[in-house]
Structure 1
Amino acid sequence: MSSSNQMLVMYLILSGISNVAELQFPVFLLVVLTYLLTLGGNMTIFLLVCLDRHLHTPMYFFLCNLSILDMSSTTVTMHRVFSGFITGDNTISFSACLAQMYMFASLTSNELLLLTIMSYDRYMAICHPLRYQTVMSLRFCRKLTATCWAFGFVQVFPLVVMLSGVTCFRTIEINHFFCNIMPLIRLPCSDASIPQLFNFVNGLILAILPFFLTFIPYIFIVMAILKIRSSNGRRKTFYTCSSHLTVIVLLYTSLVCQYLKPDSMTSKGSNKLYSLFNTTAVPLLNPVIYSLKNKDVKAALRRRRRFIS
């Protein structure tokens, strides 16, 4: 890259979700509808867990935190999309871009860690039911969750510090609809090998490791289910963790498609599509999966309706 193409700027340009003018308005309406449904579904789960004493258990405490993460992550990414479409201004200051990257990366890390904890909660409930109430007390669950939140926000901070001093960019346009990590790391004129290495190592720690730690308990859960003689008992036991397993598969599938495919196999448009699915569809599907497959949530909804009426 020649020095004439290196720019000293304070603002960047987001290309948006679609580069096709005819598709921008229909896509915008679809994203707005998805966003409103996401907020409505997750807020419903959050309020039900807070208001219904029957849901004051470790599993629903974690589910309440998951709803908060889903509402926060989709708001962090979508608010700039809405603002850009309404005002026609797709520029974003470098500091705001860093803030958006930091918040989204932290919230995603929190969600991966929380899903890991939820898998061990299901492991204790199914494999060690007699010890479950003692081990998974609400006080212990609060400490676990607080640790996840703290670690999630701390671990990405060094990357923000590394990028905060950058003033020279190869280009001012980010071919994305929000400030994601990988497009932002590629912008500096100077050598970005250290931020890239940090992001790679950080990704291994907060993606690959939680992946294995999340699925290991399910090996023991499956073994415990297979030992149950009654087919009805096996079905009921698996039913208690099927919602969580579905959410895990959805999230990790979208992350693998978005981050772990080689650049030669992934077009820029498909990266946007994977990001859009991860930031809008997954947060929307989470409350749907838990409400449709969970008898306790449906019973709590019925109790709230009777109370209101």
Structure 2
Amino acid sequence: MPKEGNQTSISEFILMGLSNKPEQERLLFFLFLIMYLVTMLWNLLIILAIRTDSHLHTPMYFFLSNLSLVDICFTSSTVPKMLVNYISGNNSISYIACLTQMFFFIWFGGMDSVILASMAYDRYVAICAPLHYTMIMTQKVCASLVAVCWCWACIDALIHTVSLTRLSFCGHNEISHFFCDLITITRLACSDTSFNDLMVYTVGGLTTVMPFIGILISYTRIFIAVLKIPSTHGKKKAFNTCGSHLAAVCLFYGTIIEIYFNPTSTHTAQKDTASTVMYTVVTPMLNPFIYSVRNNDMKRALRMLFTRKPDLSL
């Protein structure tokens, strides 16, 4: 049995992708190219609209602009490589490139999770402590929250990446995915992976589960506070304030729970692949639409961004 350590005899991995049929690969290439371009365009528009409209220089939109930036980076960590593979017909990825892709994927995926939790806290303060909102959610506090999010997610990704270098890979090198997924790579190792599994369930769990628990607590208290509002109009306004964020949370965590927290017996390759595509590609593409379709402030900012004309209704 190979000794533990970085004694891998494999210099590259093979990404099996979503299909091995040429006609399907062409269709998938154009489909994912369109989705990637839409993701980049709309998230960049969200960032520009928030930066150029002074009325959107608030904590809620500060977090939203960071979420858009993270979504751009998150999608860019996997989709471009997949598109290049479809064009070149070469599905190989070097050992170092694979670890690098995995690092950035975990980093930005973790960022999505903790940014969504920060946004939930912001909505909690806005609804449950509106008179103290400006004193609690100061610019310094918001910047500190985002900085902590970036640092924690980076440490999480670094821990998983470094622990993976301890493993030996000396046989099977085909990754049944379109990117270097941590769990899939770990299963290819021919050395003991118990430490890596422990890191996934502890450090990785903290990055995913703890923000989710924070979101649940925030929305439980928000729901209780909203029920105490006497007017129907007030309740509707409060729920509208949280609606977009709640939809984004359900979309992101719904697919993650489907993949990582369901019994193994319910998993199939097609089902897991579809769920992975949802949270790695579809969710970052839909987030800008979720936050702009029913948000009058965002629609006004986007309209001003395109027309470059002042809004006379203000």
Whether TM-score is above 0.5 comes out as: yes
**Are 2:205 and 1:186 aligned?**
no
Per-residue deviation at 1:94? 0.8
The equivalent residue for 1:275 is 276
For the residue of structure 1 that corresponds to 2:172, the secondary structure is coil
Hey, what's the Cα distance between the residues in 2 that align with 1:194 and 1:58?
A: 39
Indicate if the aligned counterparts of 1:15 and 1:176 stay in contact, CA closer than 8 A. yes
Per-residue deviation at 1:165? 4.2
The equivalent residue for 1:8 is 9
The more displaced of 124-133 and 208-217 is 208-217
Amino acid at match of 1:83: V
Per-residue deviation at 1:72? 0.4
**Are 2:53 and 1:52 aligned?**
yes
For the residue of structure 1 that corresponds to 2:221, the secondary structure is helix
Provide Cα deviations, 1:94-140, integer angstroms capped at 9, x if missing partner.
11101111111111111111111111100111111110011101121
Any unmatched runs of 5+ in structure 2?
A: none
The equivalent residue for 2:252 is 251
Amino acid at match of 1:138: Q
Per-residue deviation at 1:211? 1.0
For the residue of structure 1 that corresponds to 2:13, the secondary structure is strand
The equivalent residue for 1:120 is 121
Hey, what's the Cα distance between the residues in 2 that align with 1:82 and 1:191?
A: 34
The equivalent residue for 1:234 is 235
The equivalent residue for 1:205 is 206
Q: 1:241 to 1:228 in 2, by over 3 A?
A: same
Provide Cα deviations, 1:244-302, integer angstroms capped at 9, x if missing partner.
01100110001011222233221122222111111111001100000002111011122
Amino acid at match of 2:16: S
For the residue of structure 2 that corresponds to 1:19, the secondary structure is coil
Hey, what's the Cα distance between the residues in 1 that align with 2:215 and 2:179?
A: 28
Per-residue deviation at 1:7? 7.8
1:58-97 correspondence runs (5 A): 58-97=59-98
1:10-29 correspondence runs (5 A): 10-29=11-30
Indicate if the aligned counterparts of 1:168 and 1:189 stay in contact, CA closer than 8 A. yes
Indicate if the aligned counterparts of 1:7 and 1:170 stay in contact, CA closer than 8 A. no
Indicate if the aligned counterparts of 1:7 and 1:171 stay in contact, CA closer than 8 A. no
**Are 2:272 and 1:290 aligned?**
no
The more displaced of 284-293 and 207-216 is 207-216
Q: Which runs of 4+ in 1 moved over 6 A?
A: none
Q: How does the TM-score come out when normalised to structure 2?
A: 0.93
Aligned sequence identity (%): 38
1:112-191 correspondence runs (5 A): 112-191=113-192
Hey, what's the Cα distance between the residues in 1 that align with 2:166 and 2:256?
A: 29
Indicate if the aligned counterparts of 1:8 and 1:169 stay in contact, CA closer than 8 A. yes
Hey, what's the Cα distance between the residues in 2 that align with 1:70 and 1:235?
A: 29
Per-residue deviation at 1:167? 4.3
Equivalenced residue count is 306
Amino acid at match of 1:294: N
Hey, what's the Cα distance between the residues in 2 that align with 1:288 and 1:118?
A: 17
Amino acid at match of 2:30: L
For the residue of structure 2 that corresponds to 1:168, the secondary structure is coil
Hey, what's the Cα distance between the residues in 2 that align with 1:111 and 1:306?
A: 31
The equivalent residue for 2:264 is 263
